[in-house]
Amino acid sequence: MRISKYHGTGNDFVFVEDLDGRLDIPPAFVAAVCDRHRGVGGDGLIRVVRGDARGESRADFFMDYINAEGQPAEMCGNGIRCLAVYVYERDLTSKTELVVDTRDGLKRLWLDVAEGRVRSVTVDMGPPTLERGKIPMSGGDPAAHVAGEPLDAAGRTWTASAVSMGNPHCVLFLDAGEDPATMDVPGIGSEIEHLPLFPNRTNVEFVTVPDPSRVRMRVWERGVGETLACGTGACAALVASAVAGKTGRAADVEVPGGVLRVEWREDDGRVHLTGPATFVFDADLSDEWARAAGLSGIPTAAAS
């Protein structure tokens, strides 16, 4: 199987091209190929399918995103930018405005292109969901917003806000003088991810706001672990910061892998995410690797 590697501000993905939508990729294969010691290494796998191959004539492509744990996820802001670079720079499309289908619905993307190369991609991530019951979170009034509420976990009380960007996020605002770099993101993030409060589990953002134009963040991704960036997490952090009055409706979100620009538009309430995406390499997976990984073989296309 031919695979490719891309990253968006350090959030990295294994790509599999399956334009006709014929491949059956089991969770064990995804987990093995995303293993950073025995596989290619990645925060998830993205299968690229033509929109019409799944009966979605309104979409140019479908992003089948599966996290490193082997579980399908609703949306990935960094991954969808990588998909845009993949399809444009491999001449699968000449469009600089794309519609991509995801498990969170259709997303519109704009590509900033110069001399045949994509410099950055802006994604319309849609409006945030703030209602407790729709994030989802258990307990309390399902219609209430969770903004700056106390959350007890990991031996302390956090100031937390909850936002869904198609997937659930718990944004933790750190106390004055605290630095995201000093946080035990794996320990705290894993505990909060699995709290019964979040029936679908949650992503966790550790956030400070140095000034109204900047947000600093580290992130624990549900089913993955700590990543260098998270597009939906950056959007959730900006929305939560704006609701709290810490920023305006647009800011640069600084993550360990780089900087993402997020704008929560006032006219239509939709969130736009802008950032780069980078090609790393192409490679071929061997049957020997599959056997060594304990798999029965490389996934093949289903019989037509």
Residue of 34, 76, 82, 235 marked catalytic:
76
Residue of 34, 82, 170, 230 marked catalytic:
230
Phi, psi angle pair for 202, to nearest 5°: -155, 155
3-class DSSP state of 102: strand
C-alpha pair distances (Å), 209 with each of 14, 30, 57, 124, 213:
32, 36, 42, 24, 8
- How far apart are alpha carbons 233 and 240 in whole angstroms? 10
Contact 33, 40 (CB under 8 A): yes
* Beta bridge pairs of residue 172: 160, 206
Angle between helices 77-89 and 231-243 (to 10 degrees): 130
For residue 31 the two structure tokens come to 């987990």
Contact 33, 26 (CB under 8 A): no
Contact 192, 170 (CB under 8 A): yes
CA dihedral 83, 84, 89, 95 (to 10 degrees): 140
- How far apart are alpha carbons 128 and 131 in whole angstroms? 9
- How far apart are alpha carbons 111 and 118 in whole angstroms? 6
170 a catalytic residue: no
Q: Name the residues annotated as catalytic.
A: 76, 230
